[in-house]
Structure 1
Amino acid sequence: MTGELPLRTLSSKLVVVARASAAADYGAVLDALAEGGIRSVEVTLTTPGTFDAFASLRAAFGDTLDLGIGTVTTLGQLERAIEVGADYVVTPITSSALVERAVDAGIPIIPGGLTPTELFASWSAGASAVKVFPAGQVGPGYLKDLRGPFPDIAVVPSGGVDADSAAAWLAAGAVAVSVGGPLLGDAFRGGDLGALRDRAERFVAVCAGSERPEGQSA
């Protein structure tokens, strides 16, 4: 096994997926996220320059954030993520080769999948958690169904997770939620970073269980 996810990620139960047009855009957004209480950010390889920028991101945010590298789909990308010091890696696919290499390297990995066969294949191979993707297509009740045959499986839903569904997934037993657009909004397109901090604070509160999603009463 690769072991558990990093402590800040597990404690906060929230991973923010930062998908920018260019790596130069990461800094200001990650700064606002950190100020809003976010403690785990996945920067993605669909953003040009992510590997080259990673050392400077670690220097700037490593004391505050767990920094993962996402959209890893090849062994070459995984090796580079290990080399630059990612705290964890995320892949949208089910790949035994990626999981086995991550296990060998001792780096936490969260592979994606949707079907029970895909998710269990990664979990049984040693993944630290499995990413139900796209989570919006199944909903939190799916985790209850998975827990029938796989009672110990660690699930991180991703794709279409907003504050309402984040609370529901966590109540269903997810170890964390992976959130992108519903939190980031237009932040990477010149949006108000103060508003981003406010959204981050709300998601942090929801995931900590200290705030109920809109529309829910006690």
Structure 2
Amino acid sequence: MTILSIAEALVNGGVKALEITQDTPGSLQMINNMKNLYQDKVLVGTGTVLDDTFAKSAIDVGSDFIYSPIFDIKTIQITNCFVKISIPGVLTPT
């Protein structure tokens, strides 16, 4: 099953946000493909973002949000600069 068929099943099932993790091979192209396919119907974001450089790359290909497992001020700043959603990891219960 390809990412596009999985995304299609999720969207058809009512999911309104999709996340591609940055460590997925070809993640930037996947994000770009999904944004081209779904336009504004679905939020497409990037997860496991560890730095502002990758955040900018993801935003450049259409990422609507940046999810990070850490609190990195530069990542938040670049995301906000391009008026995208920044979701930093700020609490670990353990």
Cα distance change of structure 1 residues 112 and 65 upon mapping to structure 2, 3 Å threshold:
same
Q: Structure 1 or 2: larger helix share?
A: 1
Counterpart among 34, 41, 46 of residue 64 in structure 1:
41
* AA partner of residue 34 (structure 1): V
Partner residue of 2:74?
97
Describe the SS at the equivalent of 2:32: helix
- Determine the C-alpha separation between the residues in 2 that align with 1:58 and 1:103: 19
Following superposition, the deviation at residue 38 of structure 1 comes to: 0.6
Structure 1, residues 147-171: CA drift from partner, whole Å, max 9, x if none? Answer: xxxxxxxxxxxxxxxxxxxxxxxxx
Q: 1:110 aligns with which of 87, 90, 94?
A: 87
- Residue in structure 2 matched with residue 41 of structure 1 by the alignment: 18
Question: Which residue does 2:59 correspond to in 1?
Answer: 82
Query: Which has the larger strand fraction?
Result: 2
The ranges of structure 1 where at least 4 consecutive aligned residues each deviate by more than 4 angstroms after the TM superposition are: none
Q: Percent identity?
A: 27
CA 1:97–1:63: 2 relative to 1, 3 Å: closer
CA distance in 2, matches of 1:63, 1:99: 22
CA distance 1:95–1:65, change in 2 (3 Å) = same
Q: How does 1:198-209 map to 2 (within 5 A)?
A: none
Q: Structure 2 stretches of 5 or more lacking a match?
A: none
RMSD of aligned residue pairs (Cα, Å):
1.9
Q: Cα gap change, 1:105/1:64 in structure 2, threshold over 3 Å: closer, same or farther? A: closer
Shift of 1:113: 2.1
Contact preservation (8 Å) 2:28, 2:58: yes
Deviation at 1:112, TM superposition (A): 0.7
